[in-house]
Amino acid sequence: MDKHVVSINISEKKGTKKFPVDNATLKIDHGIVGDAHANNWHRQISLLANESVKKMNEDNGMDLTPGCFGENITTEGIDLKTLPLGTVIKIGDIVELEVTQIGKECHDRCHIYYEAGDCIMPKEGIFVKVLKDGDIAKGDKMDVINS
């Protein structure tokens, strides 16, 4: 199966909806340049599988698009929620990310939760830190290189 980046999503301020961009620069000890959630911590970038978004749509009769769950990178072809901590994911020819957290605790219910009665990001989203920086683009090939 083809593994690739479906969407790259950023927000300029915390608490606002993320919007899609065609490409992004990822930096070590930071995350995505221009994203309000980037910082030198273990949750620099969030990822969610497009398969999870599609399933949420099918199960709830919704029409959600990549980025609706607040994820920075929407992927295709990798079962993200099953990757162990420490797994290294490569995007394109240069960028490498390390899985640092699976899921998260939601302290506040998001608008998706109120619309659908559920949100998949806390259960199926993952967080990574940047090991090798560089530029990525929508459609870039992805691979799990160490799990």
CB 81 within 8 A of CB 49: yes
CATH number for the domain harbouring residue 23: 2.40.33.20
Q: How far apart are CA 41 and CA 35, in angstroms?
A: 14
Lowest mean pLDDT among 43-47, 55-59, 82-86: 55-59
Model pLDDT, residue 109: 55
Provide the number of structural domains found in the chain. 1
145 vs 16 pLDDT, higher one: 145
Average pLDDT over residues 46-51: 95
Q: Is the pLDDT of residue 110 over 70?
A: no
Residue 59 belongs to what domain range?
4-146
Burial of 116 (0-12, 13-18, 19+ CB in 10 A): middle
Q: Dump pLDDT digits (tens) for 81-95.
A: 999 999 999 999 999
Q: Dump pLDDT digits (tens) for 112-145.
A: 555 555 667 768 899 999 999 999 999 999 999 9
Nearest to 61 by CA among 122, 109, 115, 7: 115
Model pLDDT, residue 19: 92
Give residue 80's identity as a one-letter amino acid code: L
